[in-house]
Chain A
Amino acid sequence: MTDAMPVGDRKPLPPPVDETGVVGWARKNLFSSWGNGITTIVLIAAVVWILNWFLEWALFTANFTATTGSECRGGGACWALIREKFRYIFFGSFPYQQHWRPLFAVITMLAMLVLSADRRMWNWRLLVIWGVGSFITFLLMFGQIHIPLSLILFVALAGGVIGLTLRSALAPSSERMAYYALIGIGVVGLALRIAGVLPKWSIAIAPLSYVETSLWGGLPVTLILATYGLAFAFPYGILLALGRRSNLPLIKGLCVGFIELIRGVPLISLLIMASVMLPLFLPSGTTIDKFLRAQVAVILFAGAYIAEVIRGGLQSLPKGQFEAADAMGLNYPQKTLLIILPQALRVVIPPLINTFIGFFKDTSLVLIIGIFDFLNTANQALVDPNWAGFPGEVYLFAAFVYFIFCFSMSRYSKYLEFELNKGTRR
């Protein structure tokens, strides 16, 4: 008994090797029974086989250097086609020597989106980011921007009205005076402009050659249609959702009617209406830019869907929140902006991002009105008889680019849910 170790000193034996580490994990999860074991082996074999085939096709026998399609034929993937066509797929018919412009426009837009994804920017900075970003984007794309006097006056008027409504009870009198002054300048200026007293004058910023929208194509088109479509549709959708819950029968009726009308027709029909019917109702000689028409159609369409998503959020709020806001003496805009919307929007982030992702991809429907977005320039690359016959490569490439965008959005939505729900998590 002398050699007996004290109880406390006895080292516990390590668990059996087949219970821990890689082996243990595999036993527990992959080979826990005969059936599971066989399934695992079959699936691994299938994955290896598919991967082997795919890598053989996409890498080992692939052709990266061919100069014509016929050289490519017979081997593996023809990535030389992408090499030949990638500039067209990304930028469409934009003048070839000026491709740096859409490239920087895309970079600007992405920077703008990434910056506005950060919660620390969600204040006046957001307006600055979008203002500067949009200006640079469109300056690069168009090459020249003319800002008419009436637009400046209108912005002054709108700024004044919005400022006054939001800060009516909060702002010091000097700030209020500034808003009144803005409204005054706007109203008087616009009246004079309409009466013809003020001349038709505009600020011209024209550092580059002008490139019209019919030459735009590829990724910038997809990004512009989706970004600005959703950027405008979002506030518009909020207004529609609020209007639908309004007590005023006229506003409620208009909003319900609009939402149901838009949701009742496919986006394609709206685009065809905008491109085929609308021009016939305009006086002859007047044409509205095709791109703008498509953009407006996307905004209207997305607005209706976003409105319904947001209405879900509004309805999820308990009535007490509205009543508490009323009891605080807040007016309607303040109540909505400070109490209701922050809570309602937080609830609807997953369906909202879902709508965003859907619309990002839906923009490729603009092909039916002859606008070449990213997917459609990829399609056009397939038509070239010198290079035709490799749809797999082109679509894989397009899918890859789309995936990058959609996956980033989905991850961002996850991050946002985490950030905004900090308060409710234990």
Chain B
Amino acid sequence: MRNRIVAAAAGLAVAVLGAAGTAHAGKDLDAVKSRGSVNCGVGIGTAGFMLADSQGKWKGLSVDVCRAVAAAIFGDAEKVRYVPLTSQQRFTAVQSSEVDIVMGNATYTLTRDTALGLDFTGVYYYDGQGFLVPKKLGVKSAKELNGATVCVAPGTTTELNLADYFRANKMTFKPVVIEKVDEIRSAFFSGRCDVYTTDASSLAATRAANVPPPQTFDDYVILPEIISKEPLGPVVRHGDNQFADIVRWALYAMLEAEEYSITSKNVDEMLKSDNPAIKRILGVTPGMGKALGVDEKWVYNIVKQVGNYGESFERNVGMGSPLKIARGQNALWTQGGLQYAPPIR
């Protein structure tokens, strides 16, 4: 949270100091094409979203969106140049053309979308504040947490959300306020508090990585309630709408592919499908690529090389990964989630 405040402050300073950030012609796509790669700003290592693996290759859900953009523009998901950015730098880096997209797990808010000369093009992950509890507590829902001791970082929106939620549900809690993340974790795992609350993705990472032996991953559960909105989206420069469109629809294409059950495994067979929607999506019936200004096989390339949204989710943060985050709000709208792509037609 503090990082976000700092980032916002830096962003404001930047916005005041120069209109330089906003004064761009629609040249971004041309620059990307002539360079031959998408400059993708990624945050400093966040498990499941963006992290260099043991071979130094960037992997994660956020990284996959960048790869999808490259696959749409160049037909090759590897044509991405990764630029590691801290949360203080990320918006400046996109304003000053150092990168084309920032996938820094930035929360989509009105001020950021308007004041900084930036555009959010969608939501690749609906994050939000959640609760982590030990299984032996026997709690199935946050509504049963009356009287619990809660570990929380001070002076953040997390703390305010927590108080609001408990008041709204007519429950009481005893806060244990600790500044440093490491200390909060050790306080929680040593049993000083019943509940640890912060963004759900971070809870999942904590559960995957920081449970001290002899306790294990399975001794802890993340409760299903999410009590705040932290939608994470790709950020591009304000000005080049065509490039923003490609970034927006690259993500939508991943979602549409999942909706129509097109996966990286079956995409070649799907080319022979009779379904007119699938034919349109995969470019068998031409038109969509031309409208977007990319190759007609753009969705085919994305799905073949990166996978659909569900595949990427499961591989990076879902059940196929150590984080084991449930789809929850990130399930498709057809399965009770919030992920909803406008139709490709």
Contact = CB atoms under 8 A, between A and B. Distances in A.
Given A276-B92, A287-B97, A385-B208, A371 B56 contact: no
Interface residues of A, number: 43
Contact of A85 (B46, B54, B95): B54
Interface of B is mostly: loop
Contacts of B84: 214, 370-372
18 contacts: A74-B213, A74-B214, A93-B56, A93-B58, A214-B83, A214-B84, A215-B82, A275-B92, A279-B95, A280-B21, A280-B92, A284-B24, A368-B88, A369-B86, A380-B45, A381-B54, A388-B208, A388-B210
A370 B56 contact: no
A367 B44 contact: yes
B14 A389 contact: no
The 6 closest A-B pairs by CB, nearest first: A388-B209, A279-B96, A385-B322, A93-B56, A370-B84, A383-B45
Contacts, number: 120
Interface of B: 10, 14, 17-18, 20-21, 23-24, 27, 31, 44-48, 51-58, 81-86, 88-89, 92-93, 95-98, 205, 208-214, 321-323
Q: Which of B44, B54, B212, B323 lies at the interface centre, i.e. has the most chain A CB atoms within 10 A of its CB?
A: B54
A390 B293 CA distance: 48
Nearest to B15: A280
Contacts of A212: 81
A280 to B, nearest CB: 5
Given A272-B88, A290-B98, A385-B323, A284 B23 contact: yes
B17 A96 contact: no
Given A96-B57, A214-B83, A385-B209, A276 B88 contact: yes
B48 A96 contact: no
B96 A284 contact: yes
A214 B80 CA distance: 12
A276 B46 CA distance: 22
Interface in A73-100: 73-74, 84-85, 87-88, 91-96
B18 A280 contact: yes
A386 B52 CA distance: 12
A285 interface: yes
B210 A88 contact: no
Given A96-B56, A214-B83, A388-B208, 4 more contacts: A88-B53, A96-B57, A367-B86, A383-B45
Contacts of A13: none
Contacts of B214: 74
